[in-house]
């Protein structure tokens, strides 16, 4: 997870705390309608809760961020990106690969490498009912070859092969703390406690739109 800012970073956004400065507007979709929004909010939640150890501190940060610094709540990650590129907000919460993509497109933006951030997992699975099962398995296997890993890296996704990742260290910085969904108890726990019908972050969003 990363932060996208205007070219030159005019508001000098460097940390999660900077997002809570007076007047800073942050663009991110609503987790009530967008899966990407969950990752967006888990990053600051994990950073401020020390990997889930201080739940109250994490939720306090999210509540202040959402209630005071989210001027709009787009329905999807794509809609949030478009809103930011059209001039709304000072900061966009974004996947790293999306940030790299819009920079490559020549947009007047740049991304901020955070010291404390969250690993977004992009799992892959072969559907065992596929009529092309052999080819599907071949593709799956290819993804983990050196060539396949470089294809991922060239597209803005972090390689899981350490040797290939080292080749792209100038693109993918090493954060001081990289939290994962497992640090927070896994998706079953997180969806129930934070994003379920009565989840803590769901309640924060519902109250912010009243």
**Number of structural domains in the chain:** 1
pLDDT given for residue 34 in this prediction:
84
pTM over 0.85: yes
Contacts of 60 (CB under 8 A, 6+ apart): 48
Tokens for 3? Answer: 């932060």
pLDDT given for residue 8 in this prediction:
97
Domain boundaries, position 84: 2-121+174-208
pLDDT given for residue 48 in this prediction:
97
Domain of 105, CATH number, reads 3.40.190.10
- Residue 138 forms part of a structural domain: no
- Residue 159 forms part of a structural domain: no
- Residue 10 forms part of a structural domain: yes
CA dihedral sign of residues 70, 93, 196, 175: negative
The total of other beta-carbon atoms located within 10 Å of residue 32's CB is 14
- Residue 96 forms part of a structural domain: yes
- Residue 75 forms part of a structural domain: yes
Q: Where are the alpha helices (DSSP H) in the chain?
A: 35-48, 55-69, 77-85, 96-104, 133-142, 146-154, 162-167, 187-190, 200-208
Give the pLDDT of the chain (210 residues) as one tens digit per residue.
999 999 999 999 999 999 999 999 999 998 888 888 999 999 999 999 999 999 999 999 999 999 999 999 899 999 999 999 999 999 999 999 999 999 999 999 999 999 999 999 988 999 999 999 999 999 999 999 999 999 999 999 999 999 999 999 999 999 999 999 999 999 999 999 999 989 999 999 888 876
- Residue 94 forms part of a structural domain: yes
């Amino acid at each position: 997870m990363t932060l996208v800012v205007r070219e030159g970073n005019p508001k000098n956004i460097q940390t999660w705390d900077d997002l809570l400065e007076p007047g800073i507007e942050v663009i991110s979709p609503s987790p009530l309608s967008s899966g990407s929004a969950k990752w967006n909010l888990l990053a600051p939640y994990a950073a401020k809760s020390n990997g889930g150890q201080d739940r109250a501190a994490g939720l306090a940060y999210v509540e202040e961020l959402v209630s005071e610094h989210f001027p709009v709540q787009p329905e999807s990650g794509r809609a949030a990106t478009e809103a930011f590129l059209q001039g709304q907000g000072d900061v966009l919460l974004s996947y790293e690969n999306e940030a790299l993509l819009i920079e490559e497109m020549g947009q007047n933006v740049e991304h901020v490498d955070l010291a404390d951030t969250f690993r977004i997992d992009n799992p892959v699975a072969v559907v065992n009912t596929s009529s092309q099962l052999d080819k599907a398995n071949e593709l799956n296997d290819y993804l983990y070859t050196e060539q396949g890993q470089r294809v991922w890296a060239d597209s803005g996704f972090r390689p899981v092969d350490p040797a290939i990742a080292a080749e792209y260290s100038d693109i993918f910085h090493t954060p001081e703390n990289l939290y994962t969904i497992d640090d927070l108890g896994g998706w079953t726990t997180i969806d129930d406690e934070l994003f379920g019908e009565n989840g803590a972050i769901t309640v924060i969003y519902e109250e912010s739109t009243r």
